[in-house]
Structure 1
Amino acid sequence: MELKSIKDAFDRVANKQKLSYTKTQEIIQMLSQELDKALILLQEQFDQRPILASLKKTLQENSPLTQIEVREKELNMALTKYPKVLEKQQLNSDISKAYRHNVEFDTHVVNQIIANFFYRQGMFDVGDCFLAETGDESECSTRRSFVEMHQIVEAMEMRRELGPALNWATSNSEKLRQARSDLEMKLHSLRFLEIARDQTSQEAINYARKHMAGFADSSLYEIQKLICSLLWSRNLEHSPYSDLLAPSRWNDAVRELTRQYCNLLDESSESALSTTLAAGTQALPVLLKYMNVMVAANKKLDWQSVEQLPVAVELSEEFQFRSVFVCPVSKEQASDENPPMMMSCGHVLCKQTINKMSKNGARSSFKCPYCPTDVDISKCRQLHF
């Protein structure tokens, strides 16, 4: 099951759809502008024929319908090819051969992980119902905290209210500074722009003096940019500082608040359940393919006895939480019994590989497999990641 090819085909369709939408919007905007100009001229001039003739010529030269049809045709071609990509993939629904069967889970912990996922998404009724249905009467330890977090996020996203977020950030200011987060500055920037828009420039300057002075060392450029934007306070959207009004600034603030809120709870920004499922989705096709090869070769693999995966599984960077060393010679992952060792030449091998190359210490030196250096076994040093 090649998920990458399916994803690539889907991305092509999505990109074509976005391109088609963008082009259609541009054409509609052009038509609207031309019609508005023609209407203004029709109201000002008595002779309407040259105006209508000019409008007709402009429409013929731009051919808006033809342009839309071309984009729609490209999108339809991509949509037509996508089902064919799916048909070529042998989707195997039987994943049982790629995991261990006799694994004992702590039911209470699993229930808490699932409930925690619902609470993270703001689905508090669903989480409560789930725990009630499982008979687990204990409340998830993070429920109350996530209620507060979602109230703050909802105020920002739905009502553009910064009060709750600023109150939380101010009360946790020292912890945010220790985490080197710029969340507090981001929130003050948004509040500054609101004051500049709804009140006066002087009040915005007073707010900056009171709340942003402490961020001058780390965010001086941002503060200078905000102050200069006051020169266009009544026409900021058409100024060199129009990017300050971008919706992405609110989205960035929400993401940073969510991340830091979870961080102060000693929780990851993503739930354990979603991370496990996402990583498993990437690893599963490789394991299934390996098992199919083993079956075809009439070989068996006892999942209960293996200590590490029998095949290399490349996960995306977001799922790499700690350094892992794999010996470039034996292809085995380092462990406490087989730690990585740096040789005098700077190259690194696992301890068991070095033992084999030195005949278990019978030879005091051996040649490095990656450079012409003679390696002195006594000078090999263990690395700690």
Structure 2
Amino acid sequence: MDAIRQALRVAQQSIAPVTGTTAQFTSLGTLDSTIRSYELALDTVTPLTAASTATDLHAQLQSTHSTISDTNKQHYIALNKLSRAIDKRFPVSAHDLIDPSLFSSDTCTRALDNVVLDYLLRAGYADVAHVFAEETGLGMPEQQAHLYAKLGALCHTLAHGTLQPMLEWALAHREALRVRESPLEYLLFRQTFLNIMRGQASGVSLAPAQTKSRTNISAAYHYGRKHFVPYLGTHLNEIQRLFMLLLYVPEFHIDAAGASLQPPPSTEALLSFVPPLYRSAVTSLSTSYEQIAEQLYADYCALAGIPQRGPLQVSVDVGANIALRRIIKARSVMKDSKNGWSQADELPIEIPLPAELQFHSTFLCPVSKEPGTENNPPMMLPCGHVLCRDSLTHVARGVRVKCPYCPVESNAKDALRLYF
């Protein structure tokens, strides 16, 4: 997709000089200038100047023709590059892969509508989701809509640099986050500490102090002493570096919410005071917010019982970005070799998936070397060894089964199905 985006930018740049109002020479401007020159010549030409006027007009016409031709040439070259980039990305049409009967039944159509509705709620398009639910007759899932709305509100406050609502949510779910071993609460305390130190905090309730004596250094110091104690066992080295920062950054007065009373120093100004060992805490502000957003999203979805990745996103990521090109290529190769798909419920090739898109394990039978399926699931023998059901039937002698990996014999009925 990067090649397509680059080709599209080149095409847009080739169009800009033609349509731009600030360009000195444009195709339309040059053509209008030539027309005005011809109209002026018709009004002012005399028998004595006819020859020279015709020569000048001919030269201007040639120049106009050259300018327009060059502009069009650059434009069509850019369009051809864009077309080639698209063809390279999608070499073969995918229409032949689409089953005409797909989503023809009411059950499938309703499932697709639910996926779209989930995406609209997840993306924060609540108004569009209500209209969509009404027109499709699905009905609005109020509990699901509320969960997504709450998540959207938390992410919105984070985008505006306010951490307090998220910190309140994390404290309200402290025990559940500890069970998940989530670092979210510590990340929020750390970022608030840094924001106070930089004079860029918002909505923080600092300890009471005289306005004249409240500075970024003292406020950050007391905030860290109050909130970092539970994390000394797991983040001691980083906490020590955070407190060491207070020895180097400039001191200035802040208000009760942690914001500087005057324009706070820029990142470049702070870096001039901080040794190289501690500069990462100053320069990683945007990265820290991204880390907090990712952790919040993961924790919120886990506690709310909703998938972190929506079904529509997973389908597009796996289907369009990973599987489609490989399936088209495999189909082309199989068509050239006059082979077809032997089974309708499986793909002719393996589709490699990244770890974040692998939601369950795949069992490979150690006897047949075949993956487990619904019709041939993994079965665990009483001795603890596992093999697929077909292999179990193959090695059984009547009702007795001898494990192929140990001397234990057992009854075939005692084998238990495993779910991965």
TM-score bin (small chain): 0.5 to 0.7
- How far off its partner does 1:132 sit? 3.0
5 Å-filtered alignment, 1:156-305, equals: 156-158=158-160, 160-198=161-199, 199-234=215-250, 236-238=270-272, 239=274, 240-245=277-282, 246=284, 247-281=286-320, 282-292=322-332
Deviation at 1:249, TM superposition (A): 0.6
Which structure has more relative contact order (CA 8 Å, sep 6+)? It is 1
Q: Give the conservation status (yes or no) of the 8 Å contact 2:130–2:140.
A: no
Scaled by the length of structure 2, what TM-score is found? 0.59
Q: Which moved more, 1:130-139 or 1:288-297?
A: 288-297
Q: What TM-score do the two structures reach when normalised by structure 1?
A: 0.64
How far 1:82 moved relative to its partner? 7.5
Alignment match, 2:205:
none
Q: Using the TM superposition, give the Cα deviation of residue 312 of structure 1 relative to its aligned residue in structure 2, in angstroms.
A: 2.7
Counterparts of 1:347-362 in structure 2, within 5 Å, are 350-353=388-391, 361=397
Q: Aligned partners of 1:378 and 1:276: how far apart in 2?
A: 45
With 198-207 and 179-188 compared, the bigger mean Cα shift is at: 198-207
**Residues of 1 paired with 2:175 and 2:115: CA distance?**
30
Residue 101 of structure 2 corresponds to residue 127 of structure 1: no
Question: Secondary structure of the equivalent of 2:166?
Answer: helix
In structure 2, the CA distance between the partners of 1:271 and 1:8, relative to structure 1 (3 Å rule), is: same
* AA in 1 matched with 2:114: Q
What SS does the corresponding residue of 1:186 show, helix, strand or coil?
helix
Single out whichever of 118-127 and 182-191 deviates more from structure 2: 118-127
| Aligned equivalent of 1:32 | none
Aligned pairs, number:
303
Seq. identity, %: 27
Which is worse superposed, 193-202 or 282-291?
282-291
Counterpart contact for 1:116–1:140, Cα < 8 Å: no
Distance 1:307 1:83, change over 3 A: closer
Judged with a 3 Å threshold, the aligned counterparts in structure 2 of structure 1 residues 183 and 351 are, in CA distance, closer, same or farther, namely same
- Counterpart of 2:264 in structure 1 is none
Between the aligned partners of 1:110 and 1:261, the Cα distance in structure 2 is: 25
Specify whether residues 352 and 137 from structure 1 end up closer, same or farther in structure 2 by C-alpha distance, changes over 3 A only.
closer
Deviation at 1:244, TM superposition (A): 1.4
Is 1:322 matched up with 2:360?
Answer: yes
Aligned partners of 1:161 and 1:319: how far apart in 2? Answer: 32
Letter aligned with residue 352 of structure 1: D
CA contact (8 A) 1:113 1:273 kept: yes
Q: Give the residue type in structure 1 aligned to 2:358.
A: Q
Aligned residues of 2:119 and 2:310 also touching (Cα < 8 A): yes
Q: What amino acid does structure 1 have at the position aligned with 2:288?
A: R
- Structure with the greater alpha carbon radius of gyration: 2
Separation in structure 1 between the aligned mates of residue 387 and residue 372 of structure 2, nearest angstrom:
9
Give the deviation of 1:252 after TM superposition: 0.8
Of residues 177-186 and 115-124 in structure 1, the stretch that sits farther from structure 2 once superposed is 115-124
Residues 311 and 196 of structure 1, relative CA distance in 2, 3 Å threshold: closer
Structure 2 stretches of 5 or more lacking a match? 11-78, 200-214, 251-268
RMSD between aligned alpha carbons? 4.2
Check conservation: 2:186, 2:231, Cα contact below 8 A: yes
SS in 1 for 2:107: coil
- Structure 1 residues 95, 328: closer, same or farther in 2, change over 3 A? farther
**Cα distance between partner residues in 2 of 1:339 and 1:115:** 34
Letter in 2 for 1:243: S
* Closer, same or farther: CA 83–288 of 1 in aligned 2, 3 Å: closer
Gap runs ≥5 in structure 1: 1-6, 18-78, 369-373
**What whole-Å deviation, never above 9, does each CA across 1:18-59 have from its counterpart, x for those lacking one?**
xxxxxxxxxxxxxxxxxxxxxxxxxxxxxxxxxxxxxxxxxx
Displacement of 1:227: 0.9
| Partner deviation per Cα, 1:52-99 (whole Å, 9 max, x = no partner) | xxxxxxxxxxxxxxxxxxxxxxxxxxx997864544553213044469
